């Protein structure tokens, strides 16, 4: 599995503005729902509930909010680079500026859960993060990750 199996160029957002973590998660859930043709009320609660279990901020300015959705047929990703980093309760205490939303079918087996590991591994690379932060437009941001 590759990142391009999870993320399309149309689902990459550059210089997104968010005042706080809750606003960001709601905005990204709404955008994900729109892209998937789902009601936002079917996405927002799942992302927020997962975040209540513990922050999905994995450190180095990166967060991977994720959830399983009953109405989803295949894994889906949405990538956002924020204009200004925001507090996210990340494990290293750093503010977050790169967010990869990962939505999985509720019936996801281990092979689909590998999607989360793939995203986390990819976003741990210093070189990848540097390219993502230097990207001048959404296509460069996508190319840095894919």
What is the set of active-site residues?
66
Give the separation between CA 2 and CA 33, rounded to whole angstroms.
22
CA distances from 117 to 22, 38, 49, 65, 111 (A): 24, 25, 20, 13, 10
Alpha-carbon Rg for the chain, nearest whole angstrom, is 14
CA 143-100-84 angle, to 5 degrees, is: 90
**What are the structure tokens assigned to 84, written together?**
């200004």
Q: Which helix (H) or strand (E) holds 117?
A: helix 110-122
């Amino acid at each position: 599995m590759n990142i391009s199996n999870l993320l399309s160029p149309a689902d990459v957002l550059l210089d997104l503005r968010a005042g706080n973590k809750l606003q960001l998660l709601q905005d990204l859930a709404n955008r994900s729902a729109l892209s998937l043709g789902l009601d936002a009320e079917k996405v927002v609660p799942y992302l927020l509930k997962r975040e209540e279990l513990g922050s999905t901020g994995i450190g180095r300015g990166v967060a991977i909010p994720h959830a399983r959705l009953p109405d989803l047929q295949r894994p889906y990703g949405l990538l956002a680079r924020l204009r200004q980093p925001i507090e996210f309760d990340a494990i290293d205490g750093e503010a977050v500026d790169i967010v990869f939303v990962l939505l999985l079918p509720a019936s996801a087996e281990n092979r689909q859960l590998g999607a989360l590991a793939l995203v986390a591994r990819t976003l741990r690379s210093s070189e990848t993060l540097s390219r993502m932060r230097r990207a001048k437009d959404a296509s460069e941001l996508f190319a840095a990750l894919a």
